[in-house]
Amino acid sequence: MENGFLCRDRFQDLLEALRSLGYQCIGPQVRDGAILFVALVAAEELPRGVRDIQAPGSYRLERTAGPRFFGWANGPQALKPLVFAPREVLWRAERAEDATIRFIPELPPPLRLAVIGVRACDLAALDLQDRHFLGPPAEDASYAARRASLFLVAVHCSDPSDSCFCASTGDGPRASTGFDLALTELDDGFIVESGSGRGAQLAASLALDAVTGDMRSEAAAQAEAARARQRRRLPSRDLRAALFARLEHPRWALVAERCLACGNCSSVCPTCFCHAGVETPELDGAASVHARVWDSCFTQSHSYIHGITVRSDTRARYRQWFTHKLGSWHEQYGRSGCVGCGRCISWCPVGIDITEEAAAICTGTGHD
Ligand code: SF4
Ligand code: SF4
C-alpha cells in the first residue's frame, strides 16, 4: 500500500521512529571498499553518491555527484548473516557427577533489528531460508528467534550491477513481498509503501507528504529501466531436467580447471544454508560446546562420510553446488535456489559466472 512521500532530509525521522519502537537499525555503509550492512545511527552514514561497478571477479565502488543513498546494487552480504549466523553456539552439554549428560540449548540474545536498504533478491533469498530453517520437519530455534526480530525496510533497485540477473529469476528488481516498508528512491526523497500492519503503523507515524503523479511516473520509468538494464539471465528452459541429463558434460571438467574450490560463492550466496557442527570439549571432559558454522559444497570435509570423501575433486564439488542450486532445489523447496543477485559472479576470485556456465551446460552456448 502506498503511504506517502518522505523528503530526503527527513530520512533521519524514519530511523528515529524505528528506534522509538525498540529497534536497532542496521543499514548499508561503505566499509573496506564495499557496501556492508552495519549498525546505522544517522542518515549521513548512508552511502550517499556511491555506485558499485561489478563484473565477473570484480567489485569496486565509485563516487558520483548524485544525492542518492541507494544508487548501488548490493555488497557481499545479504540478510543471511543476520538470521543464519556464520558461527553460532546451539547448545552446551554438561556431564553430572552421576554420569548423566544434560543438554542446555542456547538462543541468540533478544535484539530487535530493523534492516534498511534490503533488496528484492535479498527478500526472495530470505523466503528460501525461511522454507529451509522454519519449515517441517522441525523449526530451527536460533534462526526463528533471529528472524522474528527483523523489521525489513526494502529499497527497490534503481541501479542493478552488471552481475545482476534477478529479472530473469523473477525475484526483482522491484520488491513485491516480504517487507514491512518499501522505498522507491527519487532524487528528492522516497515514495513509501507498507507491506505489513506494523509497517503501515510506522508510516502513519511519519506524517508523510502526498505522492504526486509525476513521482509515480518517475518511479515506474525507473523500475522499467532497472529491469531493462540487466543483460545476464539464466536459460529459460527446465534447468533441473537439463542439468541431470548432462552430469557427464565436458564443461564440468573445464570449469573445475578454473575453480579454486575457495567457497566464496557459497559464502556470499544469500540462499546457501550448508553448515557443519563443531564440538569444543573442555579439557576435563565435563562439558562441551556445540556450534554451527557455515560450510560449503567446496570443502573436502563437507562430503566426508564414514571414511570416504564422496566428492573427491573440484569437478564433483562444483557440480554438486550447481546442480543443487539450479536443479534439485526444485524438489526440496519448489523453486530454484538462485535469486539472481549476482554475488557469486562478482566475488568469485577467478570470475566464474553461473549464467555463463548454465548456458554452456544446458543450451550448448557460452564461451567454451
Ligand atoms: S547462486 Fe549466485 S546469483 Fe544465485 S542467489 Fe546465489 S550468489 Fe546470487
Ligand atoms: S566458483 Fe569461484 S568462488 Fe566458487 S569455489 Fe570456485 S573459485 Fe571459489
DSSP per residue, 250-261: THHHHHHHH---
Residue with cell 525475484: 171
Is the pLDDT at 168 greater than 80? The verdict is: yes
Q: How far is the CA of 222 from the centre of ligand 2 (A)?
A: 33
Is residue 87 within 8 A of residue 292, CB to CB? The reply is yes
For residue 2, the cross-strand partners are 193
Which of 251, 262, 299, 300 to mutate for ligand 2's pocket (most ligand atoms within 8 Å of CB)?
Answer: 262
Which pLDDT belongs to residue 349? 98
Which pLDDT belongs to residue 365? 60
Is residue 69 within 8 A of residue 51, CB to CB? The reply is no
Is residue 78 in contact with ligand 1, taking CB distance under 6 Å? no
Please tell me the residue having the least CA distance from ligand 2 atom 4: 265
Please tell me the residue having the least CA distance from ligand 2 atom 1: 259
Q: What is the pLDDT of residues 69-110, one digit of tens each?
A: 999 999 999 999 999 999 999 999 999 989 899 999 999 988
C-alpha–C-alpha distance, residues 48 and 128, integer Å: 31
Which of the four pLDDT bands, split at 50, 70 and 90, describes residue 306?
confident
Residue with cell 543471511: 80
Indicate the pTM of the whole model. 0.95
Atom index in ligand 1 nearest the CA of residue 340 equals 3
Residue with cell 534462526: 143
Q: What are phi and psi of 6, to 5 degrees?
A: -110, 115
**Mean pLDDT, rounded, for 1-10:** 96
Q: How far is the CA of 28 from the centre of ligand 2 (A)?
A: 25
**Mean pLDDT, rounded, for 253-268:** 97
**Mean pLDDT, rounded, for 240-261:** 96
Which of 341, 346, 347 to mutate for ligand 1's pocket (most ligand atoms within 8 Å of CB)?
Answer: 341
Q: What is the pLDDT of residues 103-162, one digit of tens each?
A: 999 999 889 999 999 999 999 999 999 999 998 888 999 999 999 999 999 999 999 999
Q: How far is the CA of 180 from the centre of ligand 1 (A)?
A: 24
Is the pLDDT at 40 greater than 90? The verdict is: yes
Q: What are phi and psi of 119, to 5 degrees?
A: -95, 160
DSSP string of 142-197?
HHHHHHHTEEEEEE--SS--TT--HHHHT--SS--SS-SEEEEE-SSEEEEEE-SH
**Mean pLDDT, rounded, for 25-43:** 98
Q: Is the preceding peptide bond at 137 cis, omega within 30 degrees of 0?
A: yes
Is residue 241 in contact with ligand 2, taking CB distance under 6 Å? no
**Mean pLDDT, rounded, for 305-314:** 90
**Mean pLDDT, rounded, for 244-254:** 96
CA dihedral 36, 42, 46, 48 (to 10 degrees): -160
Which pLDDT belongs to residue 303? 86
**Mean pLDDT, rounded, for 236-249:** 93
Average pLDDT over all residues of the chain = 95
Is the pLDDT at 281 greater than 70? The verdict is: yes
**Mean pLDDT, rounded, for 215-240:** 95
| Least confidently predicted of 34-48, 116-130, 144-158, 291-305 | 291-305
Which pLDDT belongs to residue 150? 97
Parse the chain into domains and list their residue ranges: 2-229, 239-362
C-alpha–C-alpha distance, residues 199 and 210, integer Å: 17
Which of the four pLDDT bands, split at 50, 70 and 90, describes residue 310?
confident
Which pLDDT belongs to residue 10? 97
Residue with cell 564443461: 251
Highest mean pLDDT out of 98-112, 234-248, 341-355: 341-355
Which of the four pLDDT bands, split at 50, 70 and 90, describes residue 368?
very low
Which pLDDT belongs to residue 367? 39
**Mean pLDDT, rounded, for 46-68:** 97
The bound ligand whose nearest atom lies closest to the alpha carbon of 76 is 1
Is residue 172 in contact with ligand 1, taking CB distance under 6 Å? no
Q: How far is the CA of 195 from the centre of ligand 1 (A)?
A: 25
Q: What is the pLDDT of residues 325-342, one digit of tens each?
A: 999 999 999 999 999 999
In 3D space, the residue among 3, 6, 120 whose CA is nearest the CA of residue 69 turns out to be: 6
Atom index in ligand 1 nearest the CA of residue 341 equals 8
